Amino acid sequence: MAKELGVSLSRVTVLRQRPEFPDPIGEIAHGPIWDLDVVREWNQSGLRRSGSGRPSAAEARRTLGGRFVIEDETIGHGGFADVYRAVDKKNGAMVAIKILRNVEGVEHEAIKRFQRELRIMERLSHANVVRVLAQGETSDGKIWYAMPLAQGSLSDYVALLKGNPALIVDIMRQVCTGLAYIHSEGIYHRDLKPANVLRLGTSDDEADSWAVSDFGLAVMVERDTDPLTSTYRQGMGSWIYTAPEQWRNARSANDLSDIYGLGKILQELVTGEWPVNAEIPPGIFRPVIERAISDSPSSRYQSVAEFIDALDRAVGARQDHEAWETREEQAERLRDRLLGRPSAEDLVEVLDWAQSLSEREKDDMAALVRVLPWMSVSSINYLWERDSQALFRIVERFCSYVATEIFSFEYCDTLANFMQRIVLKTGSPAALGKVVAALARLGAHHDRWHVRDILVGILQKVRTQDEAVEVVEALRSIPILEARWSVTDFTLRTLPVSIRAGLGEILAKAS
């Protein structure tokens, strides 16, 4: 090595201590070994200063960690950092340098935690995780870290991905793979969003490779500044991807908060719009997104692996059936599954299928009401325990359709019996309200006494104030003559006092 560099052995020892000196490629008993071709390239590229003396003051100011020479102009800004292009003197590669700012109000311990996390990230290596090449502090105390220079972020490609489910799934798998690796190392991201998923590679001809970046950076700064409702938070542009529990207490962010972020990223890729609400369009991805962005952490996927499995299941169902089955054929196949002894996999498939249907498409809802009424008590119990929010959304769409459509007399009874099972087995006041409104309208439209008997039986069993409120609001929300058909004067006298008080006046006017 001394001969290659044209220096003495003692000078080699000095050069090896420089931050930009090439890394060794291995270790033997006598110490590290180098690839002389790499050393020769470093020596001849101008990365090693050929002149004598110290670097100029201007260059010294622009050199971080003795290794990265940054350009004067920034190439990007965030709510908490400036991004610069820089040359890595170790190998001549172009890299990105992020310099953290706006940390004056952050507690000293928070800064130390973030620096510890950066040191951990330096040791990690995964194709779908942006590597931290080095980190440190500037001369005026600002934190910086270096990473490979990317070709843009996922936020730059959102418009191109809408309507391309295969490519969306490929990208999400890469993001999930990187995130799962980070979680396995005991690290949570805490700020997942498309801007923090970078496209790597050296040219447009290469296969796209996507990697997660910026671990914990935003949240670490936020958690020790003023309240999260401040304009500082809004300026970062992260709030729509942030889990509710993280808003309430930033320190509570964990792997389930990251699952929420995955759901919001998927929502944006599917819709092509900022995921500012929970209104997910119908389709194969709706079940996955709705579960991932549940307000309750316990209702989300409990690991990245579960999220990936759900994605694979959604795409698999489309490939297996949607290419050749009509909605009617799908309904017949799934109804037959429910009539037998459905497995857990059967029930999950029914749940996902039902969530993917469009409440605005009559064929979709007609298929739904051909399947759901054949769900047994045990099946309802299983799905309610597994994902109560998903089942509630399906029941809500089911009830809205049943309330306005025409059915045969016999099928009216089948529909009513199913809705009775939903009320009895879920114990949900919200589901109770949806069912009551649907039964009242269904019975009145068809003059079906069995439907009325089911409704009256449900009303007579109301015990709590929450249930009574839902019932009264439900019956007040429908045409008054339809409510009057179901609740006669005699029936009203048999109902709990809280319901009588809420309905007495309005029903009297109908008389």
Mean pLDDT, residues 247-254 taken together: 79
Whether the predicted pLDDT of 275 surpasses 90: yes
The phi and psi torsions of 145 (rounded to 5 degrees) equal -150, 150
Mean pLDDT of 435-457: 96
pLDDT band at 139 (very low <50, low <70, confident <90, very high): confident
Query: Angle, nearest 10°, between helix axes 377-386 and 344-356?
Result: 70
The whole-number average pLDDT for the span 246-271 is 90
Q: How far is Cα 510 from Cα 494, in angstroms, rounded to an integer?
A: 19
| DSSP structure string for 175-213 | HHHHHHHHHHTT-------GGGEEEESSSTTSPPEEEE-
Known catalytic residues?
191
Give CA–CA dist 434/440, Å, rounded.
10
Q: Among residues 138, 70, 73, 76, which one has the least CA distance to residue 103? A: 138
Residue 12 has a pLDDT of 82
SS3 track for 395-456: HHHHHHHHCCCCCCHHHHHHHHHHHHHHHHHHCCHHHHHHHHHHHHHHHHHHCCHHHHHHHH
pTM exceeds 0.95, yes or no: no
3-state helix, strand, coil in the chain (%, to 5): 55, 10, 30
Pick the range with the lowest mean pLDDT from 17-21, 230-234, 324-328, 470-474: 230-234
Domain-wise residue ranges, the chain: 2-44, 57-148, 403-511
Q: What average pLDDT does the segment 25-50 reach?
A: 74
pLDDT on residue 237:
40
pLDDT at 115: 77
More confident residue, 13 or 393: 393
Tokens 């290469």, located at residue: 206
118 phi and psi angles, rounded to 5 deg: -60, -40
Contact 294/240 with Cβ under 8 angstroms? no
CA distance 128 to 182: 10
* pLDDT above 70 as % of the chain: 86
Q: CA-to-CA distance for 73 and 149, rounded, in angstroms? A: 15
The CATH number fitting domain 57-148, selected from 3.40.50.10490, 3.30.200.20, 3.40.50.1000, 3.20.20.70: 3.30.200.20
Question: CA–CA separation, 7 vs 10, rounded Å?
Answer: 8
Sign of CA dihedral 436, 439, 443, 448: negative
Specify whether the CB–CB gap between 357 and 282 falls below 8 A.
Answer: yes
- Between 449 and 123, whose confidence is greater? 449
Mean pLDDT value across the chain: 85
* The predicted structure's pLDDT at residue 459: 96
406-437 tens-digit pLDDT: 999 999 999 999 999 999 999 999 999 999 99
Of residues 232 and 441, the one with the higher pLDDT is 441
Mean pLDDT on 186-190: 85
Residues 6+ apart with CB under 8 A from 352: 287, 310, 313, 314, 317
| pLDDT of 294 higher than 90 | yes
Q: pLDDT per residue over 303-314, tens digit each?
A: 999 999 999 888
Return the minimum-mean-pLDDT range out of 182-186, 321-325, 387-391, 489-493.
Answer: 321-325
pLDDT higher at 5 or 347: 347
Signed CA dihedral, 63, 65, 67, 71: sign only: negative
Quick: pLDDT tens for 202-242.
Answer: 555 455 789 998 775 444 444 444 433 333 333 334 789 99
Q: Give me the mean pLDDT over the 140-148 stretch.
A: 86
3-state SS, residue 47: coil
For residues 355 and 390, the answer to whether their CB atoms sit within 8 Å is: yes
In contact, 269 and 158? CB cutoff 8 Å: yes
Cα–Cα distance, 416 to 435 (Å, whole number): 9
Q: What is the reported pLDDT for 192?
A: 92
What local confidence, expressed as pLDDT, does residue 511 receive? 63
Identify the residue whose tokens are 């429910």. Answer: 338
Mean pLDDT of 20-33: 80
Question: pLDDT tens-digit profile of 98-122?
Answer: 888 766 666 676 677 777 777 777 8
Percent of the chain with pLDDT over 90: 50
pLDDT at res. 106: 65
